[in-house]
Amino acid sequence: MAKQQPAKPANNKPNTASPATSQETKPKSELMVPDAAPDHIGGGTEGFENVRGKDIELPRLKLIQKGARESDVDGIAPGSITDTLTGEVIVGKDEEIEIIPALHYVSWIEWADIDDGGGIVDSSMDPKSPLAARANERDEDGKQVVTEYHNFIVLIPSLGLDKPYLLCLSKTSFKHGRRLLMLARNRKAKDRNGQLTGAPLFAGKYKMNTELVERNDLRWYETKFENAGWADAEGFAAARALHASLGESLRQGKVKFTPADEPAGEPSEDSTDTTTAPDRSQEKDNY
């Protein structure tokens, strides 16, 4: 009989998010969904009668840049992507994960200068709004006045199909949001008559990872996407249901999903133009 190996002690150390961190070893947070309730607790929604859509914060996928609090204080490697609600590392540096985008919308946000305390001055999801018209404006220091975002509400199949995440792409990552849309629009499916036509946004899976970019003595990370095949039946159904429920709420203005903080540590998309100063509103070391 083979000798039984002694059980390894539980790892109670805080998450340091080394580059080699795997999905299996990432620690759970007290905010993550717990196991199923015991039998004496039945299902129900009592107590949530007065909760509004805007009272609920959707977990956001945040790309960590050098100089961010998560990097300097929590020791999370720049280039990682974290869950802003739990602090969990979703994608470690040099790792990748598959997502299914369920919903897309564009938004515009005017941020207060960090020296004045930061925070949102104004926001809109209306492409005809005065705020959207100011998306290309810059102040006297070359800082972008209004930030434009590609926003995706996504599912991560490997983490479960019952938890949506908000993915906000702006500045240098804005073009990768356009790429993700292009990859999705290029998919074809057969309609009821057997003719090839476009496929829903949530028809496909996409690999998401990060890449270090170096340009004009600046260094920062960007989020990138590649095709990863078609969503399976379960993932497709879950994403379709999510699209139906949250999409209607967004269209009716009953709920808003916005970034919790201004994207930091990366220049604006057109900063390759040496006449344009990179955005240093959040930190002076752009990495």
Distance separating alpha carbons of residues 184 and 216, to the nearest angstrom: 32
The segment with the largest mean pLDDT, out of 77-86, 176-185, 210-219, 266-275, is 176-185
From start to end of 171-268, where are the E strands? 188-190, 196-198, 204-215, 218-230
Sign of the C-alpha dihedral computed for residues 186, 187, 190 and 191 taken in this order? negative
The number of CA neighbours under 13 Å toward the Cβ of 76 is 24
With cut-offs at 50, 70 and 90, classify the pLDDT of residue 283. Answer: very low
Q: Sort residue 175 into left (φ over 0), alpha (ψ -120 to 50) or beta.
A: alpha
Q: Which amino acid is located at 179 in the chain?
A: R
Distance separating alpha carbons of residues 150 and 246, to the nearest angstrom: 16
Determine phi and psi for 173, rounding to 5 degrees: -85, -5
Report pLDDT digits (tens) over 148-197: 899 999 999 999 999 999 999 988 888 999 999 999 999 999 888 888 89
With cut-offs at 50, 70 and 90, classify the pLDDT of residue 231. Answer: very high
Distance separating alpha carbons of residues 78 and 74, to the nearest angstrom: 11
Measured from the Cβ of residue 12, the count of other Cβ atoms closer than 10 Å reads 6
Distance separating alpha carbons of residues 101 and 137, to the nearest angstrom: 30
Q: Beta strand pairing status for 96-111 and 204-215?
A: antiparallel
| pLDDT at residue 206 in the model | 97
Is residue 251 pLDDT above 80, yes or no? no
Report pLDDT digits (tens) over 47-74: 766 766 555 667 899 998 887 777 766 7
The Cα angle at residue 148 between residues 87 and 61, in degrees rounded to 5:
15
Q: Which of 174-178, 181-185, 206-210, 243-247 has the lowest mean pLDDT?
A: 243-247
Sign of the C-alpha dihedral computed for residues 116, 144, 212 and 222 taken in this order? positive
Nearest C-alpha neighbor of 126 from the set 220, 253, 229, 8 = 253
Element (H, E) at 236: helix 233-251
- CA torsion 75→80→83→87, rounded to 10°? -10
Give the residue-averaged pLDDT of 104-116.
Answer: 83
| pLDDT at residue 240 in the model | 95
Rounded to two decimals, the pTM is 0.73
| pLDDT at residue 36 in the model | 64
Is residue 259 pLDDT above 70, yes or no? no
Tell me the average pLDDT of the chain. 76
Nearest C-alpha neighbor of 112 from the set 71, 147, 60, 84 = 147
Q: List Cβ<8 Å contacts ≥24 apart for 111-114.
A: 111/147, 111/262, 111/281, 113/143, 113/281, 114/262, 114/281, 114/282
Alpha helices, H only, 99-232: 130-133, 174-185
Instruction: Mention every residue, 6+ apart, whose C-beta is less than 8 A from residue 133.
Output: none
Distance separating alpha carbons of residues 201 and 152, to the nearest angstrom: 10
